[in-house]
Amino acid sequence: MNPIDSTHSSRTRWVVLAVMICHFISAFAALGMPPFFALILSKSLHSDTIYLAGWFYIVPTLFAALSSPWWGKLSDRFGRKRLLIRAQLGLSASFLLAGFASNSYVFLCALVLQGLLGGTFAASNTYLSSILSGPALVRGLTAMQWSARAALVAAPICMGLWVNTESPILLYRYIAWLPLLGAVCIAFLPQGNATAVLKTTEKTATTAPEITARQIYAFQFTFVFATVITFPYFIPQVQAQFPSLAANWAGLLFGLPHLVYLLLALPMTRWLGKRHLLINLAIAFVLLLASLIGQAQQTGIEWLVIWRLVMGLAMTMSFIVLHAMIASTIKHHSAGQTFGWFESSSKWGGVAAGLCAGIVSAQFGLYSPLWVGTAAITISITYIAVLKTNQLRLNSLRNTAKENS
């Protein structure tokens, strides 16, 4: 059965579901442990340099940003399925090394390898581009982001139940089996057929604005930067503003935007991201801007809940539109490279946000990251307005030229 002919068949849906589950279990392992780095340093590595936990947190992201474009090129050359299996095996090997680390230097090496050898998200997206196209690919990319958000919500909770052992680093030896299991499952999936996907692109492609891949990467970077910069100090902000609020409720407030995505992303993909992408991205960014300004006002708990929900809606819209934009630029011979740079721009946004959050919060207070994110999104909204205005002017000139001819 041709992969394109079966895009909407149950077989293809099962393939997408399998890739989604395999990514979830890998992301579950990768995202579940970082919140407990300080505990690992003190109890397992017997180190009093707890401040290293913050630096260790961004190490995998930094090296993933460096390696993603390279792995993307290799997937175009040697096959998307092979490189997806490689990513799962690389993640498993890095976890295994972390599980046997006896000091902070070996643990650091394991985190570096996790960033260099992982990249399951970009590899999964690249593989999906070989069996899906157009709106189906956008839905597939949204499903992949859904699995990442689900892991982000579930992993810290579950790991928190399991990590209270004599040596929490030993948990890495067990979670190393998760990406290994993912690699085995992926081995049974079809190879995909990027050439066949290309033949149906004209029939199924989304209506995209006149925007380049580099502009999409820039929007992705800004979006990730503006959201992630608010993460590190959100709970301290809430606890300082509402001292009587229990820690679990503060955690729930932190997770609200991600929960909104889990609830709305898949239904919204059915109607959002098909046309007027640049305008929809501007709307999403305006909502994000409003939510950041609202949270910075330090109002009552009811308004904070509302602004967190608005932030979740803005994140959902932004992800869907950015997925639609990148799907519209995919070419069968360079899909891996495209998704590699797309993922790299996201990782660089996260790294820059983490570093900037630490610097500005130390200098200007806990709420300063919100204002930095506001400034970044404002710049993007302004650029979108200029870009759209220029596009409308060019279209008007072209129409006038046609009428005169």
How does pLDDT run across 8-30, given as a tens digit for each residue? 467 788 888 999 999 999 888 88
**Residue-level pLDDT at 10:** 73
**Residue-level pLDDT at 50:** 66
State mean pLDDT over 369-393: 93
State mean pLDDT over 201-229: 77
Give yes or no for residue 209 having a pLDDT over 70: no
Give yes or no for residue 350 having a pLDDT over 60: yes
**Residue-level pLDDT at 204:** 44
**Residue-level pLDDT at 196:** 47
Residue 247 pLDDT level (bands cut at 50, 70, 90): low
**Residue-level pLDDT at 1:** 42
Give yes or no for residue 299 having a pLDDT over 70: yes
Give yes or no for residue 129 having a pLDDT over 50: yes
**Residue-level pLDDT at 106:** 94
Give yes or no for residue 160 having a pLDDT over 70: yes
Is the domain covering 1-206 a CATH 1.20.1250.20 domain?
Answer: yes
How does pLDDT run across 261-284, given as a tens digit for each residue? 999 998 898 888 777 899 999 999
CATH superfamily of 209-328+334-405: MFS general substrate transporter like domains (1.20.1250.20)
SS (H, E, C) the chain: CCCCCCCCCHHHHHHHHHHHHHHHHHHHHHHHCHHHHHHHHHHHCCCCCCCHHHHHHHHHHHHHHHHHHHHHHHHHHHCHHHHHHHHHHHHHHHHHHHHCCCCHHHHHHHHHHHHHHCCHHHHHHHHHCCCCCHHHHHHHHHHHHHHHHHHHHHHHHHHHHHCCCCCHHHHHHHHCHHHHHHHHHHHCCCCCCHHHHHHCHHHHCCCCCCCCHHHHHHHHHHHHHHHHCCCCCHHHHHHHHCCCCCHHHHHHHHHHHHHHHHHHHHHHHCCCCCCCHHHHHHHHHHHHHHHHHHHHCCCCHHHHHHHHHHHHHHHHHHHHHHHHHHHHCCCCCCHHHHHHHHHHHHHHHHHHHHHHHHHHHHHHCCCHHHHHHHHHHHHHHHHHHHHHHHHHHHHHHHHHHHHHC
Give yes or no for residue 3 having a pLDDT over 70: no
**Residue-level pLDDT at 194:** 52
How does pLDDT run across 51-107, given as a tens digit for each residue? 677 788 889 989 999 999 898 888 888 888 999 999 999 999 999 999 999 999 999
The pTM for the full model equals 0.83
Mean pLDDT of the chain: 85
Which of the two residues, 240 and 321, has the higher pLDDT score? 321
- CATH 1.20.1250.20 boundaries in the chain: 1-206, 209-328+334-405
**Residue-level pLDDT at 51:** 67
